[in-house]
Amino acid sequence: MRPTDVERLTVAETVDRYAAMVRAKCAMGALAPGTAEVYARDVVTFAELAGADRVLDDLTGEDVDEVLLRFARKPDGRRARSGAGGQRAGAGEGEAASSPNASSPIAPSQSAASQARFRRSVSAFFQYAVPAGWVQLNPMQAVTLRPRHRGGLRAQRRALTAEQAEGLLGAARGLVDAAPAAAGRSDQRTELRDGLIVLLLAAVGPRVSELTRADGEHFFVNAGTRYWRIFGKGGRTRDVPLPRPVADVLDAYLREGRPLLDRGREPRALLLSWRGRRLARGDVQAVIDRVQARVEPERRRAVTPHGLRHTTATHLLAAATDMDAVRRVLGHADLSTLGRYRDELPGELEAAMRVHPLLGAVRDVAEEAPGGPGVQAGDGA
């Protein structure tokens, strides 16, 4: 028997109330803006898949299983590629053609990480729904589907090799150099912006939410060095110095590229779409894919914004950069977190063993021996 205090609310009504609660917690500092955005977006998707007009308390574990399956099969719009009649060159940021093209390839389904994240969001929603009096029982307790075991890092999450990173950065640099002579309407050209996005992601390794939240006023000069004040998780900020090549592209974008895109809609935002709106998290992937298409095939590999964050950490650590400095660049609160961001690079073990610190004396003796390295006592006797 259903208790009298359970409200017979529709899925849409409860999702609206939950999203309002999430926004309130974000405003009070109890939730990071990025986390609040993910929770709100996922419950809206849940309402679309479950049926907005259904009563929330009528949903069973089987219903939630079906929603999870439908989400897993849902095309990943971040990685959608247009066909001949799809997105114009240089589009993205929600600017793709609105009418579907039958010849366009189908976007990939959701990754294992996205499926696990969506399930966590739905579970948090129902955990709130029980004490709120929207459901009598939490249907997540009867859900049979579990997230797939990821089996380690996926290819698009692993760090790029030096050759792959150089190819991507070279393509970004090529976009920047070609910007003055680029064809098309001047107020829709995004070459400088796209090059800057890839350079910032690969050189500094920010979270994608930190990048899209950046405002022009967050960049400043101190003692001749350009800094980026990054607003990260938990209200923490960090000032990261930009390498000179990246700072030069930033200055060129602020001087020449951004004014062309400014429609006065987002006067403070650093990164704007050609419609003058602040870029969203999902738009950044379209930019990366567009720059990747300019890389030579032998050095090209799909990568996400978070994969570029892994790339930054991996190559800084491989270059023997102080671990605490890398932690501060990435904005980690705990040094131990770096272990998840340090990926293997081809040939690094062989290189480490060639310069083994305990065998330095042995190498010196071998090099000084008559006949040079490789000649041992007794050879030729």
Q: Is residue 3 part of a domain?
A: no
Q: What is the CATH number of the domain that holds 249?
A: 1.10.443.10
172, part of any domain: yes
Same domain, yes or no: 273 and 165: yes
Residue 104's pLDDT band (cuts 50, 70, 90): very low
Instruction: Indicate whether 136 and 160 sit together in one domain.
Output: no
pLDDT at residue 240, as a whole number: 94
- On average, the pLDDT of the chain sits at 80
**Residue 33 pLDDT exceeds 60:** yes
Which one-letter DSSP state was computed for residue 158?
Answer: S
Residue range(s) defining the domain that contains residue 32: 11-74+109-142
Q: Do 57 and 165 belong together in one domain?
A: no
Residues serving a catalytic function are 207, 233, 306, 309, 332, 341
Residue 58 shares a structural domain with residue 191? no
60-68: average pLDDT: 90
Does one domain contain both 133 and 185?
A: no
User: What is the rounded radius of gyration, in angstroms, for the C-alpha atoms of the chain?
Assistant: 25
Are 129 and 208 in a shared domain?
Answer: no
The residues near 199 (Cβ < 8 Å, ≥ 6 apart) are 169, 172, 173, 245, 246, 249
- Do 117 and 187 reside in the same domain of the chain? no
Least confident of 144-148, 172-176, 270-274, 287-291: 144-148
Question: For the chain, give me the number of helices (H) and strands (E)?
Answer: 14, 3
Residue 163 lies in a domain: yes
Q: Are 27 and 106 within 8 A, CB to CB?
A: no
Q: Is the pLDDT of residue 217 over 70?
A: yes
Mean pLDDT on 69-88: 62
- By mean pLDDT, which of 129-138, 233-242, 303-312, 346-355 is the weakest? 346-355
Residues 301 and 163 in one domain: yes
Question: Are residues 209 and 313 part of one domain?
Answer: yes
Give the chain's domain count: 2
Q: Which of 120, 123, 27, 32 is nearest to 333 (CA)?
A: 32
19 within some domain: yes
CATH code for the domain in which residue 24 is found: 1.10.150.130
> pLDDT (tens digit, 9 = 90+) per residue, 279-297?
988 899 999 999 999 999 9
pLDDT at 319: 82
The answer as to whether 276 is a domain residue is yes
Q: Residue range 103-129: average pLDDT?
A: 79
**Torsion of the alpha carbons at 229, 230, 232 and 237, rounded to the nearest 10:** -10
Verify that 125 and 237 share a domain, yes or no.
no
Report yes or no on 296 lying in a domain.
yes
Assign 3-state DSSP to the chain and report helix, strand, coil percentages, each to 5: 55, 5, 40
* pTM, 2 dp: 0.60
Average of per-residue pLDDT across 248-276: 90
pLDDT band, residue 108 (cuts 50/70/90): low
* Whether 138 and 159 share a structural domain: no
Alpha helices in the chain (DSSP H): 11-27, 33-50, 61-73, 112-132, 162-178, 191-204, 208-212, 244-252, 258-261, 281-292, 305-318, 323-330, 348-354, 360-368
User: Does 87 fall in a domain?
Assistant: no
Same-domain pairing of 56 and 191 = no
Last residue of a domain, one of 118, 142, 166: 142
232 in any annotated domain: yes
